[in-house]
Structure 1
């Protein structure tokens, strides 16, 4: 059994009721599919005036002879109706029997489909929830290696493929095979010779169809990976559209997209050709079998006279009735291979081990009392250390600024404090407790983060701020906006705090977006604030407004400020100067200037006015 099939079972388990009823109704459908063909025999007998005359009510002798008993009982009623009311009433009975058996066949088909629909939709919903939970829970490092578009393709396209294709397996193992089995049993009862003849062609057909489907799963996996790449390309192109246009790079991006579409087209055509060939090939093989049966069976009827003509017609209908499920089996087997490939990509994400998790005995830290200590940290993203033997202490209520050139490891400190990444050597402690010994929820509850990139969502200002404090009142939101120096522009918007700000806050300026990010942190009201180059992307006027907002926010709070612009950290209680992951200087603004070292050089470079 395929491993991916085993992995689907836990998702199917809550819907076992629907699975059981689907199987039951599929069995009944298969049974009535054969019975509906057999009921044509008495109708043909009446039409050709060859119906057996049975005047005595048949006696039931046991389940083994139930077929003979039902047949005699039917002809008894036909004989009785013909004798009393004429052949037209006997024909009416035969036609009514055909109608009722076909009615039940299609009713059971509908009920089987009804339960399969609930199973497929239920598993789809559960898989989506599980997948989204996983992609939200996975740590930041996972997404530094994966394309967002590929994750989206797995979340949307692959899970849909599992729903559309994977559950064809229920038809593959129950509905269609049983339809064939019941038909063959009936065919054996009509003529053993003819049915043995059929068995010569079934293995040949199966072998040819299996050869056509070779390598289908591998190609399906490649197709889905290419779909993920295509979605990534669209996502990145739209996200960086200003850069694409300003550098006249439209042609380059179009070429990359066209190349991906070409690869996708080639794979889709290859898979489509195999899928399209399966059905006509299985039908052609079936028709060849039917043609041979017509020749051989015709001889039994016309020459040897060992088979009744009406029975031969019913036999041929049963033989032809095998073709539809045979085609469905070949199509379903191809669909299952595509479903397996899609399931493999879904489970690749679901089975990723999250290396940044809470310890089983992690404590809930509800308050911040004394200090943050970073002790002898060594950290690397790949091979070379980004931080080397790094140690600082941040007392409660103080502001510590980290400055240095790009690549000196400043932002890495923010990533480690919030446990977006885990330290490899050394420790980070809050009030003497290692942050790895706390629950991540309680750790992050103590912290507010304002990053260089103002991360806002396509929603109202109010809902963007409520992320900071779910259930906050409008008054609390307005107060936070005032502290962040943002209410001055929010109150002038058409709908105030209920104004939609567009995709990623696209309707606002950079300074306005950053002040909303600060307002969100203010609303959260955490004891520790981490500012990761919060003003570096702003113009001078916006920077002044944001700087006032930051100063308002940092009052009576413990703050760690990562700054590129030195004008923003003059009032810090301690400034830590970093170079290539190490501390080279630390002290107040005045003390560092007096040293006339690295910090003084940075100030001079930025034309800092004392």
Structure 2
């Protein structure tokens, strides 16, 4: 059987700490849990009282004897004689003076019993006694013997009804408030987890699977949501119900001199918990493996659907189906193993309950416990069974919750790779220059930038060119703090960007990336994304500059046209123009163009390039380009090679140098310098 797995209660306690902001509703839920528990105690006491009246009120019978009736006057005497369990009903017989009377059953009044009955009836509220006796004409006690009549059942039923109503009301509000708290906690947890992921660096996102992140945000929090909503309610309600039952059993046993039964029940009830300890460790083991495997399924699905064009192009549908099927079947098998142990908890607990009941009945018969007392104690034990059974489910839920929480806290406890300083400041504007000083960067143990030193004056148009993997995009990503600087520094107007608030830094920069990113929303939404309060006129003006208006006018919905997932309802050129319009609308002092026109045809490229040239004005433009024709007018072109600046200068100067830039130019245009 492997090493025994233990529940990490510290993790569960940390999870419950998220309940603190909602302690008001939590206390209300606990209060109604007490109402439920208290009503169970009342329910049991009233049921025991009713059973005692129905089953326990037997008449006391003496032995047969003979009597002679003597009277000075010859009168007829009518005597009512009741036989025990007389099926024929009451009977009367006329007797005369001197006759002998054979008393078949003599009813005697036990003074002790009379006191008990009087005391019991005296506990009934006066208003209720008056109502039943005066308004309904019901006698609560026999006028001769004083024993309670059948009308006492009405009283018992009344209090029984109140107890049941309180139990129903208490259960509803306990579950409502507890589930509200549970769902709110999970919503907060999911929001915090999402925020943590959003603020991680691009280095983290490039190394982590999207499917894995989605699984932890959705599946793991979903596991917690279903479990914590139940757990918090059950953890507050079930113990109260159990203590109410135990309280009744203790009270009832002492009242009826059943100390032996009391000890038997208190020592025997923990047998319900035995299956929990037997199956709990196995359940945790497979619950953890199941959550890891569903992450693998999500990763496989996300990756394949994202690359569906490639899959179809290379006829790999069957291969991907088979690969997904293996991962999915693995998840199925692990889930069933986990479910096997989870589902075994209930029948094992029920079997333990039946065994306990048989032993209890045998013990009661041997010790001649009356039937009404067995019924009362049996009902109490039955009411204790449900909360005990709930606790077995809580055990299974807690195991799964802790496993899911461990995976979530693993993300929440990660340090931000790009930590913002506590005293970080804002930079309202860009006035002078951007300086890269001895900048170095390594990725996966390989150095991708080496001692880069560059100064970009305000208003300059600079370009970075070079072969793929030379470090162009990495340099720009570090400037925007998508990646952190490993060595050296980057400053704006003499202020190190690590001393700036990220929001302030990125507010100065507008991006048009190589890979255009659009949301599944309208064209207007995508253009105005990140620009709060953008007006219709501003959106329209930016759209005209980026030549978006041309293809939008062809759509019936106009700017409300939905671009689809990742903008798949638009062509590559149209997506790129929407992204350029977004950057134009932001109107930043620094504009970063990462292959901004790479997806455009020649005609559209000229239109967009013209718009970009108009946008430049006194702005600083940093362009990354493979198509050298788009940057030949730059003030300075930096040629990157293996993470270093190999050459720099104007287009004409670099051609004259006849170095790496000249070779790249000649390769693209087949010209000889």
Q: Among 184, 198, 211, which residue is 1:136 paired with?
A: 198
C-alpha deviation, 1:416, in angstroms: 0.7
Q: Select 1:218's aligned residue among 257, 268, 285.
A: 285
Q: Is 1:243 matched with 2:310?
A: yes
SS of corresponding position for 1:87: coil
Alignment match, 2:34: 27
- CA-CA distance at 1:232 after TM superposition: 2.2
Q: How does 1:224-239 map to 2 (within 5 A)?
A: 224-239=291-306
Q: Which of residues 81, 85, 94 in structure 1 aligns to 2:140?
A: 81
Q: Does 1:400 align with 2:462?
A: yes
Whole-angstrom distance in 1 between the partners of 2:42 and 2:159: 10
Contact (CA 8 Å) 2:543, 2:549: kept in 1 or not? yes
Residue 337 in 1 paired to residue 389 in 2? no
Where does 1:2-13 land on structure 2 (aligned, <5 Å)? Answer: 2-13=9-20
Is it true that 1:350 corresponds to 2:412 in the alignment? Answer: yes
Structure 2 counterpart of 1:41, from 45, 48, 51? 48
Matched-pair contact (CA < 8 Å) for 1:469–1:523: yes
Check conservation: 1:198, 1:289, Cα contact below 8 A: no
Q: Do the aligned partners of 1:209 and 1:281 also contact (CA within 8 Å) in 2?
A: no
Match of 2:537 among 471, 475, 500: 475
The DSSP-based 3-state class of the residue aligned with 2:123 is: helix
In structure 2, relative to structure 1, the CA distance for the partners of 1:70 and 1:549 (3 Å cut) is farther
Moved more, 382-391 or 92-101: 92-101
1:263 aligns with 2:319: no
Partner SS, residue 390 of structure 1: strand
2:434 to 352, 372, 375: 372
Matching residue of 1:272: 339
Moved more, 495-504 or 531-540: 531-540
Gaps of 5+ in 1: 60-68, 302-306
Say which of 561, 574, 592 aligns to 1:530: 592
Inter-partner Cα distance in structure 1 for 2:500 and 2:192: 25
Structure of greater Rg: 2
Q: Aligned-pair distance for 1:71?
A: 9.1
Moved more, 38-47 or 582-591: 38-47
CA RMSD in angstroms, aligned pairs only: 2.5
Q: Report how far residue 99 of structure 1 moved.
A: 1.9
Q: SS of the counterpart of 2:142?
A: helix
User: Whole-Å Cα distance in 1 between the matches of residues 449 and 610 of structure 2?
Assistant: 31
Note the alpha carbon deviations across 1:509-551, whole angstroms, 9 max, x for none: 1011001101100000011111112233444444444433333
* TM-score, normalised relative to structure 1: 0.92
Q: Matches of 2:15 and 2:615 in 1, distance apart?
A: 50
Q: Deviations over 1:371-396 (max 9, x none)?
A: 11111111111222101111111111
Q: Deviations over 1:223-280 (max 9, x none)?
A: 2222222222222222211111111111222122111211211111111111111011
Pair 1:349–1:271, CA change in 2 (3 A) = same
Structure 1 residues 594-603 or 36-45, which shifts more?
36-45
Distance change (3 Å), C-alpha of 1:463 and 1:608? farther
Work out whether residues 639 and 648 of structure 2, in 8 Å CA contact, stay in contact via their aligned partners in 1: yes
Aligned counterparts of 1:205 and 1:86: Cα–Cα separation in 2: 39
Going from structure 1 to structure 2, the CA distance change for 1:126 and 1:58 (only over 3 Å counts) comes to farther
**2:102 paired residue number:** none
Asked if structure 2 preserves the Cα contact closer than 8 Å seen for 1:397 and 1:558, the reply is yes
Residue 557 of structure 1: aligned partner: 619
SS at the partner of 1:38?
helix
- Deviation per CA, 1:424-481: give whole Å up to 9, x if none: 1111111122111221111111111111111110111111111242111111111111
Further displaced range: 112-121 or 282-291:
112-121
Distance in 2 (alpha carbons) for counterparts of 1:261 and 1:204: 38
Secondary structure at the residue paired with 2:551? Answer: helix
Conservation of the 8 A alpha-carbon contact between 1:468 and 1:521: no
Match of 1:206 in 2: 273
For these two proteins, the number of residue pairs brought into alignment is 596
